[in-house]
Structure 1
């Protein structure tokens, strides 16, 4: 994404969100929207009618909130280490990792508006996070010592690509942590639970106002 495109995307994010504390992670401020469907339609209009992914970047999803909370409560997981936040969305988890003392933090996403939101949210929290726009799932995390993924097992096609990516990262020695609010496609037998959370969420996006959410560590086979 060129600099002009980045500026336009940041202007769009600013115009359609408000800065507020994250409900379960009040240390982190985010540019947040009040509703999803209308915003999704506006993202597609802004792209000339092109099909766009849902605006995951405009909300604090349960998996990301729990993972960000875990990182801030257990900074030793990331302090002084290189971190990749996969499918970052708003950058909530990436910002939490930076606040917890990570040496460097990269936030990856396929949505140009997410990349813009990451930049804006890093700035409003006074931390440095490098947005990376693109699909990384054929790789292994590019050497990151910690790979974080909030709420990535929500549909089968995504899960079928994410799990091998996370396993490749683990196999080369990365710590892999996932935040998940009980999504259907998380293979729990591959993970070990490390913390449990009751996370307030936007009720319109979920089936209840508070989601029981687990932070999991990917273990060996």
Structure 2
């Protein structure tokens, strides 16, 4: 299968198994999301796991991402005229918020090709321009002014690796903001809380219908 055919297949799968709906805590943005979380998760495993693809994180508006998107929309000066990286972008929710808030350039990076396709679809649906990159950027520094990351602290090793990398970017002067509802491996001792929200979420994926979710800045960051 050619790269073009594979991309078209991914776009068709997303269109077939999602609906374009407003994000609960950022209704200015609409995303292609799964209405039945468990069903799509199972379908992805059944139909796609044989070719080694990760779970469909791109099909949901996660609590940390919603909090971060809300913060960016309410504080557009954070990203306005800046070069922005949305790391582990998933659906592209936070990247779309940054583009709407006036960022000069927005890169949405993820290692899942389905996420890259979802970002493209969602950017089109919201009338913004975003560069979707299928890359693992951990350890790299390409001069971004602002780095945004939602829901990245759900695995111990990944969280430690990403926070160390983001700390380096912060030390050279980048603004680093993390959206998180209190995942297990969130390093609170290295973070300063800047905003907190009560975010509606999908109970099939979380342990509640409302998750207290915060936006965090790396402590000691240069201003």
Aligned-pair distance for 1:40? 3.0
Query: Counterparts in 2 of 1:6-45, with a 5 A limit?
Result: 6-45=7-46
Q: Aligned residue for 1:179?
A: 179
Matched, 1:148 2:148: yes
Do structure 1's residue 57 and structure 2's residue 49 form an aligned pair?
no
In structure 1, the partner of 2:170 is: 170
Report the Cα offset of residue 179 of structure 1: 0.4
1:195 matches 2:195: yes
Aligned to 2:185, the other structure's residue is in SS state coil
Q: 1:112 and 2:138 equivalent?
A: no
Q: TM-score, normalised by structure 1?
A: 0.95
Give the C-alpha shift of residue 177 in structure 1.
0.2
For 1:157 and 1:115, how far apart are their aligned partners in 2?
A: 24
Quote the Cα distance in structure 2 between the aligned partners of 1:218 and 1:178: 8
Quote how far apart the aligned CAs of 1:8 are: 1.6
Question: What is aligned with 1:138?
Answer: 139
Deviations 1:151-204 (A, max 9, x none): 100111220221112112112211000001011111111111110100000011
RMSD: 1.5
Residue aligning to 1:93: 94
Shift of 1:48: 6.6
Indicate the larger mover: 166-175 or 125-134: 166-175
Determine if the alignment matches structure 1 residue 220 to structure 2 residue 199: no
State the match for 2:79 in structure 1.
78
Relative to the length of structure 2, the TM-score reads 0.94
Q: What are the Cα deviations for residues 47-95 of structure 1, in whole angstroms up to 9, with x where unaligned?
A: 4712322211001000000000000000000000000000000000000
Structure 1 unpaired stretches of 5+: none
Shift of 1:5: 2.0
SS at 1:39 equivalent: helix
Determine the C-alpha separation between the residues in 2 that align with 1:39 and 1:50.
Answer: 17
Confirm or deny: 8 A CA contact 1:36 1:55 kept in the other structure.
Answer: no
Count of aligned pairs between the two proteins:
220
Output the CA distance in 2 between the equivalents of 1:48 and 1:71: 35
* Alpha-carbon distance between aligned partners in 2 of 1:120 and 1:148, rounded to the nearest angstrom: 20
Equivalent residue number for residue 127 of structure 1: 128
* Structure 2: distance between partners of 1:57 and 1:16: 12
CA distance in 2, matches of 1:115, 1:3: 13
- Contact 1:44/1:50, CA 8 A, preserved across alignment: no
Q: Tell me which moved more, 44-53 or 199-208.
A: 44-53
8 Å CA contact retained: 2:110, 2:116:
yes
Q: In structure 2, how many angstroms separate the alpha carbons of the residues matched to 1:114 and 1:77? A: 25
